[in-house]
Amino acid sequence: MTDELLTHAHGNVGHISLNRPKAIHALTLDMCLAMSDALQGWAGDDAVEAVVLDHAEGRGFCAGGDINLLRHSALNDGGKSGREFFYREYQLNHQLFSYDKPVVAFMDGITMGGGVGIALPCKYRVVTENTRFAMPETGIGLFPDVGGGWHLSRLGGRLGQFLALTGARLDGAECHFAGIATHYLPSEKLAEAKARIIEHPSRIGGILSELSVTPPEPRVEANCERINRHFASDSYEDILASLEADDSDWAAKELATLRTKSPQTCKVALRQMTESEKLDDFADNMAMEYRIASRVLTRPDFAEGVRAVIVDKTNDPQWNPATAEGVSGDLLDQIFALLPADEEWKPL
């Protein structure tokens, strides 16, 4: 076990609290392994009826995966330790998705990347006025992994494609509107919700409904028609052209945002969404995302994106290829290709 993850049981409820507040609880390999171990133990314990997943303190649920570890791997060990992290993290994502007992994720505060990966598989997903949800990976040369292809491709209209490409942030009300969250609670009610769930784990749905309030008007709703129109195509070039042809401020803003993203991983994300939507098994989705991650991790855009956005904070990544047109179908085929049989991802 690791002190970056607190696991204990309260009566008939298992409780997992992320405990790495200085990094907004970004996931490490040890945290993923400890979470998997706790879930595996409770799965075989008839006394445990449900699991609560939250964060111990600080301003966010989980900011993502340990990006510095991944960059170090890309630059120093050919991606070996990075692939191990993805492998175990994706096993955890699948474990939560297929878990037999209800899991309640409290997505209070920042919930991004790897945080989305552990929250969205849960049966109950609670947001608050503090929630800030995003899959911002294309800005650092990654793609919306951890099951992002599965979850985002199943949102209404083209909202998932919009979120995957732009990395746009949604607040709690918008998450509830989109179906990302099952319940919207005021943050002041979270302690009561957890206490009541611990007391009556068979009544989780009823307890959360009783404490829920009507969210504010979701701002993204007003833009859904624009999103569906401009992001309608599975061709990245078509999306850019559609935005370029619109002289509205909204289109100009989204186009400017896309111009900062890695063309390679934007194209990867679009193909990922298309392929994920066709799948009927979450494990197949995770196997596909592991193939993508294994290749993208060591391609130039990832280390360069992390340098520009996170390490040096210059926000001037030099993408390679530099344009959407430069990202060939052959390159995408290589990124999505099967791995050797002994390297393919498998569930726990």
Q: Would you name the residues annotated as active-site residues?
A: 65, 114, 137, 145
**Separation of CA 328 from chain center:** 26
CA proximity to 321, closest of 267, 244, 257, 274: 267
CA proximity to 79, closest of 264, 285, 303, 268: 303
Cα(227)–Cα(237) distance, integer angstroms? 15
Count of Cβ atoms closer than 10 Å to residue 103 Cβ: 24
Give DSSP secondary structure letters for 201-250.
GGGHHHHHHHH--PPPPPGGGGGHHHHHHHT--S-HHHHHHHHHT--SHH
Amino acid of residue 170: L
Paired tokens of 316: 């001037």
Paired tokens of 143: 């793609």
- Contact in structure between 175 and 107 (CB atoms under 8 Å): yes
Q: Using alpha carbons, list the distances in angstroms from residue 29 to 69, 70, 117, 133, 309.
A: 9, 11, 14, 22, 23
What is the layout of strands, in order, in the sheet containing 110-112? 60-62, 110-112, 132-134, 170-171
Looking up tokens 């997903």, which residue turns up? 125
Q: What are phi and psi of 140, to 5 degrees?
A: -120, 20
